Chains A and B, each alone.
Chain A
Amino acid sequence: KQEVTQIPAALSVPEGENLVLNCSFTDSAIYNLQWFRQDPGKGLTSLLLIQSSQREQTSGRLNASLDKSSGRSTLYIAASQPGDSATYLCAFYNQGGKLIFGQGTELSVKP
């Protein structure tokens, strides 16, 4: 069964800290991997998409890496801000084009 695990489930940090969110997956034959942000009661906002041939993607203060051989991806957030508080979801595309989601990491950045 294809699964995605995100650790930790919840994280609270003071403003300004750099932080890393972890994602591991069981299927090394993934195609692409995508990180999403979800605010309470809202839909999903795509943050970064890493193609299967890529190792990382960067957007502003965000950097996502992908290591297919070890089945891991990380999302690095630099200089965290209270506005970064949200749930972050990791998901990979399997061979059939379906998205397999993790349970998410709930991030709280304290002012």
Chain B
Amino acid sequence: DVKVTQSSRYLVKRTGEKVFLECVQDMDHENMFWYRQDPGLGLRLIYFSYDVKMKEKGDIPEGYSVSREKKERFSLILESASTNQTSMYLCASSLWSSGVSYEQYFGPGTRLTVT
């Protein structure tokens, strides 16, 4: 079974702190994704990566950056956390072959609260 893990289930940080959210997948997937989920807004894509050291902006990249130094690990970075970044963060991974993106598998999520 595909396994996607996230470093923390719950996280509380202060405004202005630098925050790292880590995601690891064990199925050698090329693609990795970061989403945030908010009531009434649904899931929104922040960033994604098609390969090591490659990244693409999603729909709401402002205030975030990402890092992918190894294929299995994709990090989401909040350079200076703000209260409007309080949210549920979900990581996902999928295969990529011949220009086709396959089924995404999701991690358990990290509930981040910024005070």
Contact = CB atoms under 8 A, between A and B. Distances in A.
B107 to A, nearest CB: 5
B90 interface: yes
Interface string A88-106: 0101010011110111100
Interface residues of B, number: 23
Interface residues on chain A, size class: 20 to 34
Contact of B42 (A32, A43, A49, A101): A101
B45 A98 contact: yes
B42 A104 contact: yes
A76 interface: no
A46 B103 contact: yes
Contacts of B31: 97
Interface of B: 31, 33, 40, 42-43, 45, 48, 58, 88, 90, 92, 94, 96, 100-101, 103-109, 111
